[in-house]
Structure 1
Amino acid sequence: MIEVAQELFLEMKSSGCCIPDVATYNFLLDAYGKSGKLEELFEMYKEMSSHECVPNTITHNIVISGLVKAGNVDEALDLYYDLISDGDFSPSVCTYGPLIDGLSKSGRLYEAKQLFEGMLDYGCSPNCAIYNILINGFGKAGEADTACKLFKRMVREGVRSDLKTYSVLVDCLCMVGRVDEALRYFKEVTESGLDPDVVCYNLIINGLGKSRRLEEALELYNEMKSSRGITPDLYTYNSLILNLGIAGMVEEAGKVYSEIQRVGLEPNVFTFNALIRGYSLCGKPQHAYAVYQTMVTGGFSPNTGTYEQLPNRG
């Protein structure tokens, strides 16, 4: 597709009857950025000025985003600071989103927060997407307190949260074992007029399971199916099988496995590993080996995790 666009663009220039405008350049720049073709992206970016086609905010944002996607966060930051120092550039949320995301994913949370704090200086208010990026960054780093403070600030500033916001909070709180707080935020989803999806349910079900609160996990599993009409995915089932097995509730784990077969989902290596682990921990080696046999005859390749879970190995 990009090759066709490139050809048309060259035709436009060579014919001389149709001069490419900033929107045309932006379209191609965006395509280069998304394809990771940085060399072509920069060549075209430089070419714009020589063709008296002044890059606009969208142009600069595309280049910044392309650099971040290619893992060149520092180059993207250098370009941002150059543009700011020139004085003609008005950054938007589309400028800050990729930069804050790139810094967060690189573990440079302090710099991401600094950039976030400086947004208002340039007349740009953080929106829900920007908050989500930062909350997610701190959450994934295990800094749940900072993530929660950012959420409270978001509410205070009148920025409406979305399902992603709540999912990120549920995830990071479960990750650090603060399941009661995670449950509070999960319940807040419906109170806010939002509908939890399978991802949101999976996060809280897994968090409860890991904390050995299996009854509550199963309650939510039944709620998502019956009250909400949400179809569980393989992650839902695998998480339940694993946590039920670890808690010694292997019969329930077996029932969940039967449910996978009943709904026509294909199990994967993690499904079998979780079952094998449960049976091994409960002192039922014959059941563990029976699952292993089912797995191999079913054409699934065991991994190191499979052999580690099998009883009396070595």
Structure 2
Amino acid sequence: MVSRPQKIILLKLLSLVSVVRGYAIALMIAAQLFTAAFILSPEAPLSEVLLSGNLWWLILATALSIAGGYIINNFYDQEKDLINRPRRSKLDQMLRQQTKLSGYFILNFASVLAASAVSFQAALFFSGFIFLMWYYSHRLKKIIFIGNLTSAILSVMPLFILVVYFKSFSSIIVVHACFLLLLLASRELLKDLENLTGDLVLGYKTIPVVYGVRWAKIIGILLIALTFVPSMVLILYYDIHAMRYYFYMTMAILPYGALLLWRARERRDYLILHALLRLGIIVGVFSIVLLNPERLIYGWF
């Protein structure tokens, strides 16, 4: 039998996981590991890449800073979440605002400290990353177009630090980044459509608020259509091995998603589309392994 104090502790732990979006942090860690092993260091033994102390310091700095970013975003979005997500908002409120702010500063300090174990430049990068996440939550997310673009860029910045660390910049990375940015921008637009009620009440200048739902859908469909460009470039001009099947799948499914978006009427419709798009991103992260699946068997030493 679980006692009342134990229930409270459990609820607060669940609240913490909800606030910092534990699943999103886990996905970013997987994305960084796969990117490092299969894109940025394709020739180095896997054991050498995955046992690199500096890589794990960067991953730790990323996880801590993202957790802090979600906390400050939750702090500023408390009123909006009460309108758009009342059930999850009640769980999030199990943690006091003062506790959240204390955790935010501790996580950010620990993130910069972890990055400084790699280099001074890494510490500067994460300091800038942390500041940009705060400024996005405080100001930029309320500005039309700028908020969507900033959120998409913030989502890929932790991968950029790996490009700098491994000194492995190539055109295929740019094309992959374009594809991911378009997917993330589509996701941000879906989030704006989901949160329309709260944005209207609190005066956020999002695309659906300023231009209306119809134009927001048109822009969303355009973003989905643009994902075909980097997909075709990767398939036709780069040797991406079995990962091409992921892009074949996305090109087959995304037009159906665009149709569903056009027909969407209720918040539930946007939530379903958001979940499908998130699933596509998750599958894409794990599909990085398909760039060289034999590496998992023969590439360790």
Flag the structure with higher helix content: 2
Question: Comparing both chains, which one has the higher relative contact order based on Cα–Cα distances under 8 Å and sequence gaps of 6 or more?
Answer: 2
Q: Which has the larger radius of gyration?
A: 1
Same-fold call, TM cutoff 0.5: no
- TM-score under structure 2 normalisation? 0.29
User: Normalising to structure 1: TM-score of the pair?
Assistant: 0.28
